[in-house]
Amino acid sequence: MYEKYEYFSVSPVQFQAILSGQVTGTLGDSFYNTTKPEETSVHLMPFTTYDQDNDPSPGNCAVAYGGGWWYRNCYHAFLNGPWSSTQWSNPWGGAVPSGSDVKETIMMIKRR
């Protein structure tokens, strides 16, 4: 499965994710999520790490889910999430069933 985003960049301000343009692919758009951006879109979300809690969720999502990311509702669209965990329900908008054993994820960025 894959998802392609037309435009992606990272702002120098808290390393915010900036997305725009066309979204295509087979995975499902949980990253930009133009249909329900207030729930899962990482657009304009600052990057959260173990020592910098920049997400709007209670607690630190990086600590709770094991890694840094542009969190809005913690694990939604978290590419490196706890894939084999049954505690993570409905990962990546339902395209990946709960408890799936995903061995590898890749995020590729092409300079324009």
pLDDT, one tens digit per residue, over 88-102 is 666 666 677 777 777
Domain residues for the domain of 72 are 1-112
E strand or H helix at 38, and its extent?
helix 37-40
- Of the two residues 41 and 75, the one the predictor is more confident about is 41
Determine the Cα–Cα distance for residues 70 and 40; give it in Å rounded to an integer. 10
Mean pLDDT, rounded, of the chain: 84
**Tokens, residue 83:** 């894939």
**Tokens, residue 58:** 């209670």
What predicted TM-score, i.e. pTM, was given to this entire model?
0.82
- Going by C-alpha positions, the residue among 94, 99, 104, 69 that lies closest to residue 83 is 99
State how far the alpha carbon of 26 is from the alpha carbons of 3, 48, 94, in Å: 6, 27, 12
Domain harbouring 43, CATH code: 4.10.530.10
Q: Is the pLDDT of residue 86 over 70?
A: no
Name, in order, each residue with C-beta under 8 angstroms of 29's C-beta and a sequence gap of 6 or more.
Answer: 3, 23, 35, 93
pLDDT tens-digit series, residues 13-68: 999 999 999 989 888 787 887 777 777 788 999 999 999 999 998 999 999 888 89
Domain count, the chain: 1
State how far the alpha carbon of 104 is from the alpha carbons of 26, 38, 43, 79, 107, in Å: 17, 28, 24, 10, 10
